[in-house]
């Protein structure tokens, strides 16, 4: 029944099967375990699907790896039959994704042209942890993404049925699994040339657009969402230092981590942008909250001295001031495309 998808729940499948073959009372120890059922499903798949099963599993893992790369900023983890090897024709790919905004994850998928549907009903099936919602996405294979709060990325999830830790894999762990179990391993990543090199501005756009769905506290941010705020800060900086590309990028990107981990958005921002911004831009983003404390007079002497010795101290303080001013209602700002095109033109003028 489970192989033919007549039934998806282990408990109901066991009871239905027992009633079909036996009319008396069934003892729990007479019924097969979930592991035994999964192993039998795997046997059926091997018998009925043959070599197609192995190739289908490999293709599902390739698709999972691609989706996880798209969602890298949200620290995705592969779980379920695609990871354990029990997947068969028609199985979905299950991912855990960590973000404080379901909309931010959905927006990123839509940017990539992947159709998705949000189900905001909370779930407590896996060890009774509360998910923020689910996203069903259709790429080459069907996906189900369970969205958990960002601070649960290192949480040990346990099966409600067995009490054991749920098996899961990060991007690196999935690549290692494919190298072990599939002769050709994960898809090779060619050495990028100038024509195929990743466009960093495309990455910036992908991270900025979800901020439209991150609503700020009306007490401190009456302007509304984090994207509108970021574009205001960018425009204020551009009016004062229009040719400082690194500072402009810091103004535009300083809050992108709010769509990933609202509790520590600075760390999330730096982790996500690692390798795609200059050390100076990273430094400005890293210390923009401390600069706010300095404006308030609440920063300690030692942290203040560490900031003051930097050659970019004055630009950092300008960023902090514009961060405060960029909370107005109804002001005109450029859209994301215009802002990025302006910064791109500066980079091209400098020979990039």
What DSSP character marks residue 216?
P
Reported as a pLDDT band with limits 50, 70 and 90, residue 231 is: very high
Looking at 186-195, 197-206, 310-319, which range is the least confident one?
Answer: 186-195
Distance CA 254, CA 260 (A): 13
Report the alpha-carbon distance of residue 97 to residue 143 in Å, rounded: 12
pLDDT at 191: 46
Query: Which 8-state DSSP code applies to residue 7?
Result: -
User: In the prediction, which pLDDT does 194 show?
Assistant: 47
Question: In b/e form, how buried is each residue of 155-178, taking b as 16+ CB within 10 angstroms?
Answer: eebeeeeeeeebebbebeebbebb
The domains located in the chain, with CATH, are 50-181 (3.30.460.10), 200-349 (1.10.3210.10)
Q: Alpha-carbon distance 190 to 19, whole Å?
A: 55
Q: Please tell me the distance from the alpha carbon of residue 99 to that of residue 97, in angstroms, as a whole number.
A: 7
The answer to which of 166-180, 188-202, 262-276 has the lowest mean pLDDT is 188-202
H or E segment at 77? strand 77-79
The residues facing 136 across adjacent strands are 117, 144
Q: Of 50-64, 67-81, 198-212, 337-351, give the lowest mean pLDDT range.
A: 50-64
When the pLDDT of each residue in the chain is averaged and rounded to a whole number, the result is: 85
Q: Tell me which residue has tokens 């998808």.
A: 5
User: How far, rounded to the nearest angstrom, does the alpha carbon of residue 201 sit from its chain's CA centroid?
Assistant: 18
Q: Helices H, strands E: what count in the chain? A: 15, 5
Beta carbons within 8 Å of 309's beta carbon, 6+ residues apart: none
The predicted-structure confidence for 297-329, as pLDDT tens digits, reads as follows 999 999 999 999 999 999 999 999 999 999 999
Contact residues for 210 (Cβ-Cβ < 8 A; gap 6+):
101, 103, 104, 105, 107, 108, 259
Q: What is the CA radius of gyration of the chain?
A: 25
Task: Give the closest residue to 65 by CA, choosing from 188, 171, 210.
Answer: 171
Residue 290: pLDDT band with limits 50, 70, 90: very high
Residue 197 has pLDDT above 60, yes or no: no
Q: What is the DSSP string of 235-254?
A: HHHHHH-TT-HHHHHHHHHT
pLDDT band at 332 (very low <50, low <70, confident <90, very high): very high
Confidence check: pLDDT of 124 > 70: no
pLDDT of residue 234: 97
3-class DSSP state of 219: coil
pLDDT for the residue 339: 96
pLDDT exceeds cutoff 80 at 206: yes
What's the whole-number mean pLDDT along residues 63-90? Answer: 87
Give one DSSP letter per residue of 126-144, joined into a string. Answer: TTTPPPSEEEEEESSSEEE
Q: What integer pLDDT is reported at residue 213 of this predicted model?
A: 85
Give yes or no for a contact between 64 and 57, defined as CB atoms under 8 angstroms apart.
Answer: no
DSSP symbol at 262: G
- pTM recorded for the entire structure: 0.65
Q: Which of 220-224, 242-246, 308-312 shows the lowest mean pLDDT across its residues?
A: 220-224
Q: Are 135 and 127 in contact (CB under 8 A)?
A: no
Flag whether pLDDT at 51 surpasses 70: no
CB 236 within 8 A of CB 328: no
pLDDT recorded at residue 188: 54
Range with the lowest mean pLDDT among 77-81, 219-223, 267-271, 277-281? 219-223
**Which residue is it, tokens 């229009």?**
242
Contact 18, 26 (CB under 8 A): yes
Cβ(46)–Cβ(87) below 8 Å: no
318 or 55, which is more confident: 318
Confidence band of 196 (pLDDT split at 50, 70, 90): very low
Per-residue pLDDT tens digits for 128-149: 578 889 999 998 899 999 999 9
* Cα dihedral value 232, 236, 242, 248, nearest 10: -50
Determine which of 45-54, 260-269, 317-326 has the lowest per-residue pLDDT on average.
45-54
Give CA–CA dist 265/182, Å, rounded: 38
Residue 211 vs residue 5, higher pLDDT: 211
Q: What pLDDT sits at residue 195? A: 44
């Amino acid at each position: 029944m489970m192989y033919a998808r007549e039934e998806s729940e282990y408990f109901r499948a066991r009871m239905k099967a027992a009633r079909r073959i036996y009319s008396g009372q069934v003892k729990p120890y007479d019924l097969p375990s979930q592991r035994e059922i999964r192993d039998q499903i795997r046997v059926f798949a091997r018998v009925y699907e043959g070599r197609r099963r192995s190739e289908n599993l490999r293709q599902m893992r390739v698709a999972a790896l691609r989706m996880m790369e798209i969602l890298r900023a949200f620290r995705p983890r592969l779980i379920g039959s695609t990871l354990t090897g029990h997947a068969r024709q028609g199985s979905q790919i299950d991912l855990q994704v960590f973000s404080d905004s379901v909309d931010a994850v959905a927006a990123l998928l839509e940017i990539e042209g992947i159709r998705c549907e949000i189900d905001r009903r909370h779930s407590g099936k896996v060890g009774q942890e509360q998910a923020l919602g689910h996203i069903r996405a259709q790429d080459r294979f069907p996906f189900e993404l369970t969205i958990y709060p960002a601070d649960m990325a290192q949480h040990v999830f346990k099966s409600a049925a067995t009490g054991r830790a749920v098996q899961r894999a990060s991007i690196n762990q999935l690549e290692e699994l494919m190298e072990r179990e599939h002769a050709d391993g994960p898809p090779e990543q060619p050495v990028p040339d100038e024509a195929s090199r990743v466009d960093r501005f495309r990455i910036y756009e992908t991270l900025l657009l979800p901020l439209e769905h991150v609503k700020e506290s009306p007490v401190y941010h009456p302007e509304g969402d984090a994207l509108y705020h970021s574009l205001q800060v960018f425009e204020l900086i551009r009016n004062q230092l229009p040719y400082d590309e690194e500072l402009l990028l810091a103004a535009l990107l300083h809050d992108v981590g709010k769509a990933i981990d609202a509790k520590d958005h600075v760390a999330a921002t730096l982790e996500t942008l690692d390798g795609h911004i200059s050390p100076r831009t990273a430094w400005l983003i890293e210390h923009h909250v401390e600069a706010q404390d300095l404006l308030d007079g609440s920063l300690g002497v030692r942290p203040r001295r560490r900031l003051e010795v930097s050659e970019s101290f004055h630009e950092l303080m300008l960023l902090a001031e514009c961060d405060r001013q960029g909370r107005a209602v109804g002001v005109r700002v450029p859209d994301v495309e215009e802002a990025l095109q302006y910064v791109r033109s500066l980079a091209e003028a400098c020979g990039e």
